[in-house]
Amino acid sequence: MLRPGLDKIITMIEIKNLHKSFADNKVLDGLSLKITEGTTCVIIGRSGCGKSVLLKHIEGILRPENGEVFIDGKEVGKLKGVDLNALRMRMGMVFQGGALFDSLNVAGNVGFGLIEHKHLPEKEVFERVKDSLALVGLRGIEEKMPSELSGGMKKRVALARAICIKPEIILYDEPTTGVDPITADSINELIRSLHDKLKVTSIVVTHDMRSAYKIGDKIAMLYDGKIIAEGSPEEIQNSKNPYVYQFINGLAKGPITEN
Amino acid sequence: MISQLLIKLGSKVMALLYFCGGLSNLAFQGFYLGFTPPFKTGRIIEQAKKTGIDSFPIVSLIALFIGFIFALQTAYFMQRIGSELYIASLVALSVVRELGPVITALVVAGRVGAAITAELGSMQVTEQIDALETLGTNPVKYLVVPRFIALSFMLPLLTIYADAIGIFGSYLICVFKLGISSAMYMRVTFEALLFKDLFTGLFKTIFFGMIIAFVSCYEGFNVEGGAEGVGKATRHSVVTSFILIIAADCFFTALFYFIFP
């Protein structure tokens, strides 16, 4: 599990017995998970099973009903105001549709965190923006508006925005959904290489198994509000668990669809 | 049957209370964050331009028509009793005290309030509001505060302008149609207007501006369910702003009636 460049195993993110429901719908029901510093954990599960809700708890956008989320020893649900924002600036989140700010151009989007929080000179912000865009393979689009970009480019810009604040943790919400297979693979490569270059801890939420095998150090399956299986990509691939088997092989018939 | 009705009534009351609670909470946060640094004047000016300056054309047009209409409507009765001259004072008082502020607020609620709800609602649907939070930025501070400050500044300014245009509209009718002399019209107008008329007219518009800003932002933040939700929230936002503006107007009119008899 240990990645090169890190000399001891530290739990970066720990989720304990997390519960959350919306109206009568129980979304998370006692979810527990530990993620080691510097590794990539892929969370798989069906659409609408609460994967994005889990990410929003880690970011502190949603508050848990029960249970705790610890990041580097700090309980997210108890933090407020300045402390919460300070913790959030150590994390970057890449949203499913990009969630780029329509009213700002690409440079404004990517540099948003720096402009708002770090009082850096304009020139330095611009350099950082350029570097972040270069890391995701984009050049010369600083002045474009989000509406002028294609879906794949939006995801890349969103990724650049997340890494521009130099986070220690990156959360990805379905990074390969809605783009063509070739772009999807280039995004996978990108996640992999960012990971190697920046030594960040990542959580990737997806239902794209090809991507999960490619980028994950660990894969965890979310079903019925709990993690029902976790292990290395090989372990998941050879899992005897009927739920996992049905999901990773994409079968219409099986225990998941029977309930 | 009766229990069903009661359940329905109960859920409506709960929804209303929930709305009031949410709106007051947003207003409180807006005030608190509006008066704590850092202050981003750039964004306030940007919003002032969008909400205020860009509303000048439509406000001018409507105020001018209101001036025409009001002059003609009062002329109908004033001619019967032979006191056309007092059209000027009647128009001046009603425009400055009532019509100018309320019509301006309603136009801005329709034009700007709807736009704010639609914009923030789309941001909510596309997770841009969540994205703001993940970048360590309070959405109320970033989105609501500039709009609320801009609207509470710009609405009084727009109202002064609408008052002037409305009186000008009535002036055109009286001077060119009813044969009142220009100097006479001006004199009667300024004799009728007192400082307190202008003050009570403008004071309430600050609150109208806040109502528009907070209601439209609240509705925008609470959009659920995609494009349809944005449409629904926009409609709600305009209807609620209208009701609250008229209610607030009623309150202030009563208040000033007793304070400045």
Tell whether the model's pLDDT for residue A48 goes beyond 80: no
Residue A33's H or E segment, with its range, is strand A25-36
Structure tokens at A131: 């570097």
Helix axes B226-259, B195-221, angle to 10 degrees: 160
Q: Maximum Cα–Cα distance for chain B, whole Å?
A: 70
Residue pLDDT, tens place only, B143-163: 999 999 999 999 999 999 999
For chain B, the structural domain boundaries read 37-259
Which of these, A193, A190, A189, A215, lies nearest to A204 by C-alpha position?
A215
Confidence at residue A1, expressed as pLDDT on a 0 to 100 scale: 46
The amino acid at A184:
A
Query: Rounded to a whole number, what is the distance in Å from the CA of A216 to chain B's nearest CA?
Result: 23
Closest to B134 (Cβ–Cβ): which among A59, A100, A102?
Answer: A59
Interchain contact, B136 vs A92, CB within 8 Å: no
Work out how many CB contacts closer than 8 A connect A with B.
Answer: 54
pLDDT confidence tier of residue A6, bands split at 50, 70 and 90: low
A134-190: per-residue pLDDT in tens? 888 888 888 889 999 888 888 889 988 988 888 889 999 988 887 788 888 888 988
Is B126's CB within 8 Å of A92's CB? no
**Is the pLDDT confidence value at A222 over 60?**
yes
CA angle B98, B104, B106 (to 5 degrees): 100
B165 vs B62: CA distance, rounded Å: 9
Instruction: Name the average pLDDT for chain B.
Output: 91
The reported pLDDT for the residue numbered A211 is: 87
Residue with more model confidence, A224 or B150? B150
Write down the pLDDT at residue A75.
86
Position B109 scores a pLDDT of: 94
Going from the C-alpha of A223 to that of each of A208, A253, B161, the distances in angstroms are: 16, 16, 61
B236-252 residue pLDDT tens: 999 999 999 999 999 99
B118 against A210, higher pLDDT: B118
Kindly list the residues from chain B whose CB atom is less than 8 angstroms away from the CB atom of residue A100.
128, 131
Which phi and psi angles does A117 have, rounded to 5°? Answer: -115, -40
Neighbours of B211 (CB within 10 A): 26
Percent of chain A with pLDDT strictly greater than 90: 7
> In whole angstroms, what is the distance from residue A155 CA to residue A169 CA?
17
**Mean pLDDT to the nearest integer, B193-218:** 92
Handedness of CA B99, B101, B102, B107 (dihedral sign): positive
- In this structure, of A2-6, A118-122, A250-254, B104-108, the range with the lowest mean pLDDT score is A2-6
Q: Is A2 a residue whose pLDDT tops 70?
A: no
Q: Is A91 on the interface with B (CB under 8 A)?
A: yes
A36 pLDDT exceeds 70? yes
Across the interface, whether the CB atoms of B130 and A95 are under 8 A apart is answered: yes
pLDDT tens figures, B80-114:
888 888 888 988 999 999 999 999 999 999 999 99
Q: Is the pLDDT of residue A237 over 50?
A: yes
- Cα dist from B27 to B21, B159, B215, B217, whole Å: 10, 23, 9, 10
Return the top range by mean pLDDT from A21-25, A32-36, A115-119.
A32-36
pLDDT for position A186: 85
Is the model's pLDDT at A258 over the cut of 80? no
Put simply, the answer to whether A101 touches B136 (Cβ < 8 Å) is no
pLDDT on residue A78: 84
Highest mean pLDDT among A19-23, B107-111, B137-141: B107-111
Q: Which of A99, A102, A165 sits opposite B130 (nearest CB)?
A: A99
Task: Please choose, from the candidates A110, A153, A152, the residue with its C-alpha nearest in 3D space to the C-alpha of residue A132.
Answer: A110
Say what the pLDDT of residue A8 is.
65
| Side-chain half-sphere exposure of A88, counting CA atoms within 13 A | 28
**Secondary structure of residue B38 in the 3-state scheme:** coil
Over residues A41-66, mean pLDDT: 87
Query: Has residue A12 got a pLDDT over 90?
Result: no
Confidence (pLDDT) at A238: 87
Q: Which residue has the tokens 């993620």?
A: A35
